[in-house]
Structure 1
Amino acid sequence: MRIVDIRERTFPISSPIRNAYIDFSKMTLSLVAVVTDVVRDGRPVVGYGFNSNGRYGQGTMMRERFVPRVLEAEPTSLLDETGDNIDPAAVWAAMMTNEKPGGHGERSVAVGTIDMAVWDAVAKIEGKPLFQLLAERYGDGEPDRRIFVYAAGGYYYPGQDLGALQDEMRSYTDRGYTVVKKKIGGAGLDADRRRIEVVLDVLEPGQRLAVDANGRFDRDTALAYADALAQYDLFWYEEPGDPLDFELQAEVAAAYDKPLATGEDLFSMQDARNLIRYGGLRRDKDWLQFDCALSYGLVEYLRTLDMLREHDWSPRRCIPHGGHQMSLNIAAGLGLGGNESYPDLFQPFGGFPDGVEVAGGYITMPDLPGIGFEGKCDLYRLMADLAG
């Protein structure tokens, strides 16, 4: 048993939308196929992965450093103790050979993308959904099949008026979502307050709004927004300042009594630990958004979950960024609090397998081998073409 090839292709996911910090007019991502010599149903088992939106494709880094290290490793060194499957931790260690600690930037995206594909292959070799495999290896064997999801949208885009924003948010609740999210920080406080209020006007009882500043604010602006947002019953106020400014995060937490969310731009267990140590977050109300596809993959995410438990944080406080099926499987298998969803954006990489519907803010995980990419036809067409 061995990994015989790792292939990468960069795809555009461009869009005229923008948040408070960046626009997506030239956004890309990397799609990866990990090809094994294991045969199921007459075909080689192939695992797939891709990185989350907001960080660009990492093909050059993969091809120059991480892929060669895996393919040049002794094949048996990448197997688990049974010799019957791949060991994701061993593959991860091979990728990180000769990498200095620290500097958890773009390389964490490259490694996390390949790691996703490895786990997809591992679960397919086992003949199980990834969430079931994770529940058996790291939980009590019983996954949470019913997962909370929220609809992320509300970006700024050319020509959008308040009516169009309302229509967008209404389209999400019409599809079964009970929590929707919109961007702030890209139009000024007065304009953002008006945008919040028109969205709240179309939400019904039991439906909530979250807002996301994408790390845009300095101290004074973050606190001014916190003061203004306190009058609304928001699901959360997300990433007010630079993700590594833990002092600012702690100041906002002290000033804002309602839920905060952050963590999507922290790309290692060490950075996540510093957030928990110094960010002033409240384990009974705040939310953590670490995204395995951007932060060295599930191998590292397992370390992050262990760290959280050491600090008396429940995995239920984790609702990962990214809107991809990998985090859905982690949520189901490891007991997270839910997952982000992009109902309309970044297609075909966002969304759920065909036929999976949102009801009352939740989806039910289907029984598909691996991560379940094969159940999303438009996405799997791209994957199958890459695998050859």
Structure 2
Amino acid sequence: MKIVDIVETTRPIQSNIRNAYIDFSKMTLSLVAVVTDVVRDGKRVVGYGFNSNGRYGQGALMRERFLPRLLEADPATLLDAERDNLDPHKVWATMMTNEKPGGHGERSVAVGTIDMAVWDAVAKIEGKPLFQLLAERYGTGTPNRKVFVYAAGGYYWPGQGIEGLEREMRSYLDRGYSVVKKKIGGASLAEDCKRIEAVLKLLGPGQKLAVDANGRFDLKTAIEYAKALSQYDLFWYEEAGDPLDYALQAELANHYAGPMATGENLFSMQDARNLIRYGGMRPDRDWLQFDCALSYGLVEYLRTLEMLKENGWSPSRCVPHGGHQMSLAIAAGLGLGGNESYPDLFQPYGGFPDGVKVDNSHVLLPELPGIGFEGKADLYAEMKALAA
């Protein structure tokens, strides 16, 4: 058993939208296929992965460092002899050979993308959904296939206006979402409050709005928004300041009693640990958004979950960023609190397998081997073409 090839392609996921910090007109991602020599049901096992939106494709890093290390390694050093399978932890260690600690930037995205493809292959080799494999190896043994999801949108579209925002949010509610999210910080505070109030008027009993500043604010502005947002019953106030400004996040907790969320731009267990140590996050109400596809993959995410446990946090307070099926599988297998969803954006990479419906902001994951990419026809068409 061995990996016989790994291929990467950089794909556009551009969209004419912006948040408080960046626009997505030139956004890309890396799509990876890990090809093995294993055959299941008459087909060669291929694992697939891609990185979340917002960090661009990482093909250069992969081709220069990480893919050669895997392809040049003795295949036996990458195997789980006990299970007759690839060992994702050994694969990860091989990729990170000769890498210094710290500097958790773009390389964490490159490694996380390859790691996703490896886990997809491992679960397919065992003939199980990844969520089942994770529950058996690291969880309770029984996955919860019903996963909470929320609809992320509400970006600043050219010429959209309040009416356009209302149409967008109403469409998410009509599709079964009871929690929706919109951006803030890309307009004035007064304008953002008008946009918030327009969405709140659409919500019925049990429905909630979350807001996301994408790290735009300094402390003074973050507090000004906190005071204004306190008049609303929001699902959360997300990433007010720079993701590494733990002092800002800690001080903000003194000015905003409602739930806050952050973590999507922290790319290692160590950075996540610093947030827990110094960021003033409250385990009874706040949410953690670490995204395995951006932060060295599931191997590192398992370390992060162990760190959270040691610090009194439940995995149910984790709702990852990214809107991809990898985090859905982790949520179902390891008891996370849910997952982000992009109903209309960044396709075909976001979303769920075909036929999966949203009911009261929950989805029921189908029994598909691996991560389940083969169940989403438009996405699998791109993956299959890459592997071919």
**Which TM-score bucket, shorter chain as reference?**
over 0.9
Higher mean Cα deviation, 286-295 or 82-91? Answer: 82-91
Aligned to 2:116: 116
Aligned to 1:30: 30
Aligned to 1:68: 68
Q: Distance in 1 between matches of 2:260 and 2:157?
A: 25
Q: Distance in 2 between matches of 1:122 and 1:136?
A: 14
Instruction: Give runs of ≥4 in structure 1 deviating > 4 Å.
Output: none
Aligned to 1:165: 165
Which residue identity does 1:58 align to in structure 2? Q
* Residue pair 1:179, 1:210 contacting (<8 A) in 2 also: yes
Post-superposition offset of 1:295:
0.0
SS at match of 1:202: coil
Aligned to 2:295: 295
The one-character-per-residue Cα deviations of 1:301-334 (angstroms, maximum 9, x if unpaired) are 0000000000000000000000000000000000
The answer for unaligned runs of 5 or more in structure 2 is none
SS at match of 2:201: helix
SS at match of 2:232: coil
Aligned to 1:148: 148
Post-superposition offset of 1:297:
0.0
* Residue pair 1:265, 1:290 contacting (<8 A) in 2 also: yes
* Residue pair 1:261, 1:289 contacting (<8 A) in 2 also: yes
Q: How does 1:189-200 map to 2 (within 5 A)?
A: 189-200=189-200
* Residue pair 1:254, 1:280 contacting (<8 A) in 2 also: no
The one-character-per-residue Cα deviations of 1:12-58 (angstroms, maximum 9, x if unpaired) are 00001000000000000000000000011222100000000001000
Q: Distance in 2 between matches of 1:88 and 1:228?
A: 46
Q: How does 1:1-388 map to 2 (within 5 A)?
A: 1-82=1-82, 84-388=84-388
Q: Distance in 2 between matches of 1:41 and 1:371?
A: 17
Q: Distance in 1 between matches of 2:142 and 2:371?
A: 17
Q: Distance in 2 between matches of 1:139 and 1:16?
A: 40
Q: Distance in 1 between matches of 2:268 and 2:99?
A: 14
Which residue identity does 2:309 align to in structure 1? R
Q: Distance in 2 between matches of 1:292 and 1:103?
A: 17
Q: Distance in 2 between matches of 1:208 and 1:279?
A: 25
Post-superposition offset of 1:81:
2.9
SS at match of 1:254: coil
Q: Distance in 2 between matches of 1:387 and 1:235?
A: 41
SS at match of 1:147: strand
Which residue identity does 1:169 align to in structure 2? M
Q: Distance in 1 between matches of 2:363 and 2:101?
A: 38
SS at match of 2:224: helix
Q: Distance in 1 between matches of 2:347 and 2:330?
A: 21
For the aligned residue pairs, the C-alpha RMSD in angstroms reads: 0.5
Q: Distance in 2 between matches of 1:178 and 1:235?
A: 11
The one-character-per-residue Cα deviations of 1:80-131 (angstroms, maximum 9, x if unpaired) are 1326100000000000001000000000000000000000000000000000
User: When the two structures are superposed, what TM-score results if normalisation uses the length of structure 2?
Assistant: 1.00
Q: Distance in 2 between matches of 1:140 and 1:23?
A: 41
SS at match of 2:30: strand
- Percent identical across equivalent pairs? 77
Post-superposition offset of 1:235:
0.1
SS at match of 1:102: coil
Residues matched between the structures, number? 388
Q: Distance in 2 between matches of 1:330 and 1:289?
A: 13
User: When the two structures are superposed, what TM-score results if normalisation uses the length of structure 1?
Assistant: 1.00
Q: Distance in 2 between matches of 1:81 and 1:249?
A: 45
Q: Distance in 1 between matches of 2:254 and 2:318?
A: 21
Which residue identity does 1:31 align to in structure 2? L
The answer for unaligned runs of 5 or more in structure 1 is none
